[in-house]
Amino acid sequence: MATEGMDVLVVAGDPWRSDYLRYAADLAPGEGQVFAFVEAGRAVRVVADSPAEAERFRAEQRDLQVTWSLSPIEEAEAAIRSLAGARIALAPAAAIPFRLAAGPLRSSVASATALLDRLMLRKSSLEIDALRRAAALADDGYAVFREAARPGRPEYALVAEVEAFFRSRGCPENFQILGSGGREVRGMHPPTERRLAPGDLVTTELTPCIQGYYAQICRTLVLGAASEAQLRAFAVYDEALAAGIAAVRPGATAGEIARAQNEVFRRRGLGEYVTSEYTRVRGHGLGLYVDGRPALLEDVGLVLEPDMTLVVHPNTYHPEVGYFVHGDSVRVTENGCEVLTRAPRRLFSVSPG
């Protein structure tokens, strides 16, 4: 903040975009809108719009100055006005509300957001430790998922078992989507009432959170013995994942990791299926947000540096077997990468009986 010429950084967040708040003030809002006023040499001031959340923040961090208001944006606006003469910046663009950003501090939003984005890319050793533990928990969670996957069970029952497992291990949050079925399945979604059937491919990505840091695993299983087509498909995704991970090193761009994965599909005549018609990204950053920067897409030029953390996942539709996922969490090291995910890279086969 000092080098950027900021005296006070006002950081906004809510349960959807809590990452910047978590980074700047270690606040994880469970509901409502929250503003943190961060400045050197002073306790962080917090404005919340829920009395229960305000009480929780006070209990979690005794040195915070917390107030709650039925009109938190007006309260934050008044607090900003009271700082006349200070150099104030607002962040992030994805969460700062219209009323504050449309005022005289409008020009500060882009630079303050960029500042936090830069700081959040490279992780400290404590952050890496949290990510390692989250990755280990994701491995264990996937074992629970495999155990829960049985014909006749609705998709939501699998999520019930995984979420209960994570709560039993003290993990308050997990982002999970899944898919089940055959060639008709084009992606993953929140769990539905669909019941699993023999022969289904069952895909999932699990993203548990430890101390705010998310790690992700993507795997696919088949209910019963895998067909020849399913095994052929798996070989493509496994090769693509290995190629993507092999490309992760300092100095490589996010685009190069995406290209390494996509080239495997192109060589197999599957290039159509790595376009935006069938897939979104080939992985993304991990940290305080489940879908962080950088997106792994061929046109993204962000250069990797040590201690950035990513999930590499060549997830996409396969014309013979349907949607298929396969991905590991990794950390960029000084000369390559460390794979944080330990679960075997297999097409898991679960007994249908």
Under rule CB under 8 A, residue 168 binds another protein: yes
Identify which range of 150-158, 235-243, 264-272, 324-332 contacts another protein by CB under 8 A.
150-158
Under rule CB under 8 A, residue 22 binds another protein: no
Under rule CB under 8 A, residue 167 binds another protein: yes
Binding residue (CB under 8 A) for another protein from 190, 271, 301, 319: 190
Instruction: Characterize the bridge pairing of strands 217-223 and 201-210.
Output: antiparallel
Query: How many CB atoms lie under 10 A from the CB of residue 245?
Result: 22
Residues 39, 45, 50, 55: is their CA dihedral positive or negative? positive
Identify which range of 37-45, 164-172, 249-257, 336-344 contacts another protein by CB under 8 A.
164-172
Whether residue 202 contacts residue 274, with contact meaning beta carbons closer than 8 Å, is answered with no
For residue 103, the minimal CB distance to another protein (Å) is 11
Identify which range of 98-106, 133-141, 335-343, 345-353 contacts another protein by CB under 8 A.
98-106
| Angle (CA) 310 316 317, round 5° | 170
Nearest to 297 by CA among 341, 260, 337: 260
List beta partners, residue 281: none
Binding to another protein in span 301-340, by CB under 8 A: 317
Q: How many residues bind another protein (CB under 8 A)?
A: 65
Q: Which two tokens stand for residue 267?
A: 């060589």
- The residue among 46 and 304 lying less far from another protein, judged by its C-beta, is 46
| Angle (CA) 80 84 88, round 5° | 55
Under rule CB under 8 A, residue 342 binds another protein: no
For residue 263, the minimal CB distance to another protein (Å) is 21
List beta partners, residue 65: 45
For residue 188, the minimal CB distance to another protein (Å) is 9
Query: Could you tell me how many residues make up the chain?
Result: 353
Binding residue (CB under 8 A) for another protein from 96, 218, 300, 350: 96
For residue 304, the minimal CB distance to another protein (Å) is 24
Query: How many CB atoms lie under 10 A from the CB of residue 214?
Result: 28
Angular region, 269: left φ>0, alpha ψ -120 to 50, beta rest: left
Cα→Cα distances 159→102, 164, 232, 289, 315, Å: 41, 8, 28, 20, 20
Binding residue (CB under 8 A) for another protein from 104, 170, 269, 344: 170
Binding to another protein in span 199-218, by CB under 8 A: 210-211
Identify which range of 183-191, 219-227, 235-243, 325-333 contacts another protein by CB under 8 A.
183-191
- The residue among 293 and 345 lying less far from another protein, judged by its C-beta, is 293
Binding to another protein in span 243-302, by CB under 8 A: 276-280, 290-291
Locate tokens 């008044």: which residue? 78
Binding residue (CB under 8 A) for another protein from 25, 159, 332, 350: 159
- DSSP code string of 32-54: S-EEEEEETTSPPEEEES-HHHH
Sheet containing 309-312: give its strands across.
292-295, 283-285, 309-312, 328-332, 337-339
Under rule CB under 8 A, residue 43 binds another protein: no
Interface ranges with another protein (CB under 8 A): 14-17, 28, 30-33, 49-52, 55-56, 58-60, 70, 73, 93-99, 101-102, 109, 154, 156-157, 159-161, 163-172, 175, 177, 186-187, 189-193, 210-211, 276-280, 290-291, 317
